Structure 1
Amino acid sequence: MEFVDYRPSREQLVYTFGGAKPSLVVQPGTVMKLWSEDAFNQALTSVEDFSSEKVDLRFVNPQTGPFYVVGAEPGDALAIHIVDLAPARTWGASATIPFFGGLTSTDRTALLQDPLPDTTWIYHLDSARNTIGFESRFGDFQVDLPVEPMLGTIGVAPPGGEVRSSLVPERFGGNMDSPEVKAGSTIYLGVNVEGALFSIGDGHYRQGEGEACGTAVEGAMDSTIIVELIKGKAPAWPRIETDTHWMAVGSSRPMEDSWRIGQMEMVRWFSELFGLHAMDAYQLLTQTAQAPIANAVDANYSVVVKAAKSLFPTVNAYDGVHADLRSRTARL
């Protein structure tokens, strides 16, 4: 296996999907060790820092990449297997940002109310116990929570020469904020441009489903991934495979359309996996699917539709790529 170690300087970070020149050219099968900056671009380092004063929305969700994958062409599927995610700092930050989040008025949910208080929380990492500590800002409550690293953003360049903000989740992936994008998962993305031009970022030390206030425990991340290419089998929307589940992610507004997109993509996947007519796949999915909310705060909302492998006959998606990548991971 070929290995690449890449740590971008601040000047090398990008803030879009599409529109940026590739940072590196990599071969399919490459193992990549990548560092990514936190979503705030290290603007919030103490509880005295306020997002309205410190965070520049032009430079949030910095991306590590993009990376050009040799041989990737429109219509192919890019498989990105997450080998390991590890906090790259001893602390993470979260914040309520005025007029942003799931439980406040926004520019799209316009209500006659004052903004919620601009507040920052700092979570300190206990690496020995693998926990992060929550400390209340409006009382004296404290609790330690398990570290559960994930990547908020993972995506490829959009089609048609589009350039999209790294705050946006869409069919190219992007800022899906799904806790399922974690170590052990394989993410399948449809390639839209030559080389795919994928990037990652927005590391979360943990996040609840929905990311209710709009920010997780945001932190710099060390990521180890394996990149693989599947010719001619692009999914219409992002798919995720783990040892236990198949999943599809829909991102849109309103949220029911995100749910519909995820359901439709799983109907397609069931048809591929089991050779089912779409109506039979629709019926089977209806009785087996779960649909956790990934985020209810981004420019588009994201919903994950997932099905447990244990309920079905044994089949190999994409000719067993996930199992093969898991095997390669064990040999690293």
Structure 2
Amino acid sequence: MLKPLVLSLAIVSSFGLPTSVYAEEFKILKQLENKPTLLKSGEYKGNYYVPSTLNTITWGYLPNKEAKPVLTVPSGSVVTFDTVSHEGLLEDQGRNAEKYFTSKGVKPEHVLAEAKLITDSKLKHDFHKDGPHIITGPLYVEGAMPGDILKVEILKVEPRVPYGVISNRHGKGTLPEFPKRIKHEHASAANPDAYGNVSIFTPIEKNAKGVWEGILKTESGKAIRFPLSPFMGTMGVAANTSEPVHSVPPSFYGGNIDINDLSAGATAYYPVQVPGALFYTGDSHFVQGDGEVALTALEGSARATFKISVLKAGKDKIPGNLLSQPLGENAEFWITPGLDEDLDEAMRKSTREAIRFLVSEYGIAEEIAYAYLSAATDFEVSQVVDKTKGIHAMIRKADFKEFTKVK
């Protein structure tokens, strides 16, 4: 078994300005095993484990009903996934993880071995056609059948490396005038600068209070510092189709839903589409603002641990009863997403789902639910850059403390 590597190093920002050496040593989270397995020792003993290898990932697409599961686990299992961020690996960054990150001041031994393996491989990836995301899985969950709900409790999301990347690419951010760089026709992995895209290398470090922060150096040498809140941008179940499922637009099966409230301590619910559910994850974010306006969050490789359970239709208590799309919750809120290419329609869908949820969960009238949402619920824009845009309602649980379970 490979041991985590403890790291203390200086990082160079995208402007070539050195940051301070880390005051706190960072534990690089290296691959635990080279294939999916049940861990029998170490910090994650008793957890099932899925690494990101050439046999357990897809690049640019989500698993569909024909995807071969990388591991089978019983309902109620705790599963730890090691994921690899696509940022630093893509063609407009040279499709050479070691070269890209070492050019930013990272030592070769501090670049994840899996990242090097992926970019050194002959794994096909079309920058213009395929999605950017590296997806790990899928996981077959025993007993999961169409009509059931897969309950995914997010126990922990841990950065694997002390750095990430924030990118803005032509035609993909909120503002069409950015990036303000010329794109040339001869752009390729061998000539990445010709894409004219912007990727800002961003180290992370602990501040004086022990809180992890992202560090953006500016031209003046002064730094913008912001706290981290790691979460998985992509989680979901396989769609019931034999067609390729692009990794960018989220849908009723989950996928690239990018809701930053689904961090450690939250729970996500997915309607099962195919036997075994075929759960997957990827696109780890160290932190993301609502909207994700430039295109990406602070993207970085992460280790995610989940408890994954099957809720049987007609037997187990399912929040909101019959779900036809993902649902989220954390200690304070119920989270009802709305997804559509049109942001206005995404808002309507989120509102309709919030009304349906409140009526089903608490037995109140639609008119009361609608009035409550207008008076007391915030609707947040998760992202506007993933083709399908997302808005989600944040329904405060404490407002319903007088209610008991609806039978």
Give the TM-score normalised by structure 1: 0.84
In structure 2, the partner of 1:121 is: 200
8 Å contact 1:35–1:223 — kept in the other structure? yes
8 Å contact 2:50–2:137 — kept in the other structure? no
Find the aligned partners of 1:144 and 1:253 in 2 and give their Cα distance.
Answer: 33
Out of 169, 177, 180, the position equivalent to 2:250 is 169
Find the aligned partners of 2:150 and 2:383 in 1 and give their Cα distance.
Answer: 23
Matched, 1:16 2:88: no
In structure 1, the partner of 2:149 is: 77
Out of 320, 330, 334, the position equivalent to 1:242 is 330
Matched, 1:281 2:363: no
8 Å contact 1:238–1:250 — kept in the other structure? no
| CA gap 1:171/1:316 in 2 versus in 1, 3 angstroms | farther
Matched, 1:38 2:117: no
Find the aligned partners of 2:89 and 2:242 in 1 and give their Cα distance.
Answer: 30
Find the aligned partners of 1:267 and 1:39 in 2 and give their Cα distance.
Answer: 37
Residue type of the partner of 1:40?
E
Give structure 2 stretches of 5+ with no counterpart: 1-44, 94-99, 105-118, 120-124, 184-194, 314-320
Matched, 1:252 2:324: no
C-alpha deviation, 1:20, in angstroms: 2.0
In structure 1, the partner of 2:158 is: 86
Return the structure number with greater relative CO, CA threshold 8 A, min gap 6.
1
Find the aligned partners of 2:255 and 2:140 in 1 and give their Cα distance.
Answer: 16
Matched, 1:303 2:391: yes
Matched, 1:212 2:293: yes
What secondary structure, in the 3-state scheme, does the structure 2 residue paired with 1:199 have?
strand
Q: Percent identity?
A: 25
Give structure 1 stretches of 5+ with no counterpart: 107-112, 320-332
- Aligned 1:216-231 pairs, distance under 5 A: 216-231=297-312
What secondary structure, in the 3-state scheme, does the structure 2 residue paired with 1:272 have?
helix
Residue type of the partner of 1:26?
V
Which piece of structure 1 moves more, 95-104 or 76-85?
95-104
C-alpha deviation, 1:83, in angstroms: 0.4
Find the aligned partners of 1:10 and 1:135 in 2 and give their Cα distance.
Answer: 35
8 Å contact 1:37–1:221 — kept in the other structure? yes
What secondary structure, in the 3-state scheme, does the structure 2 residue paired with 1:205 have?
strand
Find the aligned partners of 2:156 and 2:386 in 1 and give their Cα distance.
Answer: 26
C-alpha deviation, 1:153, in angstroms: 0.6
In structure 2, the partner of 1:99 is: 171
Find the aligned partners of 1:318 and 1:124 in 2 and give their Cα distance.
Answer: 48
Residue type of the partner of 1:186?
T
8 Å contact 2:379–2:392 — kept in the other structure? yes
Residue type of the partner of 1:134?
L
Tell me the alpha carbon deviations over residues 182-240 of structure 1, each in whole angstroms, 9 at most, x when there is no partner: 00100011111111111111001111100001111111001111001111155122111
Find the aligned partners of 1:5 and 1:96 in 2 and give their Cα distance.
Answer: 33
What secondary structure, in the 3-state scheme, does the structure 2 residue paired with 1:60 have?
coil
| CA gap 1:303/1:114 in 2 versus in 1, 3 angstroms | farther
C-alpha deviation, 1:311, in angstroms: 1.6
Q: CA RMSD in A?
A: 2.7
Out of 266, 271, 280, the position equivalent to 1:190 is 271
Q: Whose Rg is larger? A: 2
C-alpha deviation, 1:283, in angstroms: 2.7
C-alpha deviation, 1:260, in angstroms: 1.3
In structure 2, the partner of 1:62 is: 134
C-alpha deviation, 1:132, in angstroms: 1.8
| CA gap 1:291/1:280 in 2 versus in 1, 3 angstroms | same
Count, aligned residues: 308
Tell me the alpha carbon deviations over residues 22-61 of structure 1, each in whole angstroms, 9 at most, x when there is no partner: 1111111100111111033634444969xxxx99533621
8 Å contact 2:362–2:405 — kept in the other structure? no
Which piece of structure 1 moves more, 39-48 or 221-230?
39-48
Find the aligned partners of 1:77 and 1:247 in 2 and give their Cα distance.
Answer: 16
Residue type of the partner of 1:144?
R
8 Å contact 2:339–2:349 — kept in the other structure? yes
Matched, 1:132 2:214: yes
Residue type of the partner of 1:36?
T
Find the aligned partners of 1:135 and 1:317 in 2 and give their Cα distance.
Answer: 51
C-alpha deviation, 1:105, in angstroms: 6.3
In structure 2, the partner of 1:109 is: none
